[in-house]
Amino acid sequence: MELDGLYPPIEPYETGDLLVGDGNRIHWEQSGNPDGKPVVFLHGGPGGGTSPWQRRFFDPEVYRIVLFDQRGCGRSTPHASEPDADLRFNTTWHLVADMELLRKNLGIQTWQVFGGSWGSALALAYAQSHPDAVSELVLRGIFTLRSHELEWFYEGGAAALFPDVWADYEAVIPPLERGRMIEAYHRRLFDPDPAVHVPAAVAWTKWEVSTITLRPDAELVAEATEAEHATAFARIENHYFVNRGWLDEGQLIANVGVIRDIPAVIVQGRYDACTPMMTAWDLHTAWPEAELVVVDDAGHSASEPGIARALRAATDRFAQA
């Protein structure tokens, strides 16, 4: 993973677990400057978890950097890979409430909210619920869970670009069920038999991570398709997508008026096959005050060099705000 455009690696100065209710604990960490400008990083998926390299988008001399693993993934418990995983209390609005509880427990008045892919949807949902708590928004790879966004990537649209990879994703599902791939995967991902849910989880995850970079990244695919990680990732994603994120169709774009006055940068890869530029464009059209930065030589991942540089430039610009 080439990350030369980011800040050097750092270690957290504090970690903890926050009891958020319904038997869930979310793992959080703080790094950078304890007295600095607060920023919270929202990982993708949902279900992706955080990684140490994600601290590096922020100047550690300036920012108080908060990372946390959303319910059911990463180092949060209970983990969605467990055989009896119960995701009834894992919704967009539970995560919004978790963020607000974490902010208050850390004694933060306002924070910058930084999120990409699913993290951009969560950032929008949180900011629209708690606009007074958000100093700025840095968004990447915009995803709002509209029906045509989900259909494009999980029901066959993107197969036009990746027919070879799609073949493996499709092979798990019998032909008669392929008209509704998300629902067909749901039945398998939540089957209690590991012989059923693990291969489905690996296939679901492999499809996604094989298509998020402009050029194939075999190391990323191998890491993401480890059975435990893939099971939690695929289950949580699929649970959210079957339920359309507990959002009204188009809600996150329709409600931008609530956050219009919050300074924002939208970073979008021109060749993003996972969350195509159409959604970033729709968001920017509804919210022209937000700056749209299009990276012409990038796909979806935040690790793409051009996207990483654009995200760092955004956080550097807001560092002294």
In the set 31, 81, 117, 129, the catalytic residue is 117
CA-CA distance, 234 to 239, in Å (whole number)? 8
148 is catalytic: no
- Return the C-alpha torsion angle 163, 199, 153, 251, nearest 10: 180
CA-CA distance, 96 to 205, in Å (whole number)? 25
Q: For residues 241 and 155, is the Cβ–Cβ distance under 8 A? A: no
Q: For residues 112 and 39, is the Cβ–Cβ distance under 8 A? A: yes
CA-CA distance, 48 to 285, in Å (whole number)? 29
In the set 239, 300, 301, 303, the catalytic residue is 300
| Residue 307 vs residues 206, 275, 293, 313: alpha-carbon distances, Å | 22, 14, 9, 10
284 is catalytic: no
In the set 43, 217, 272, 301, the catalytic residue is 272
Residue in 120, 59, 161, 112 with CA at minimum distance from that of residue 321:
112
Task: Specify the DSSP element, H or E, that contains 223.
Answer: helix 218-224
Tell how strand 111-116 and strand 37-42 pair up: parallel
CA-CA distance, 223 to 90, in Å (whole number)? 24
CA-CA distance, 220 to 121, in Å (whole number)? 23
76 is catalytic: no
Region of residue 269 (phi > 0: left; psi between -120 and 50: alpha; otherwise: beta) = beta
List, by residue number, the catalytic residues: 117, 272, 300
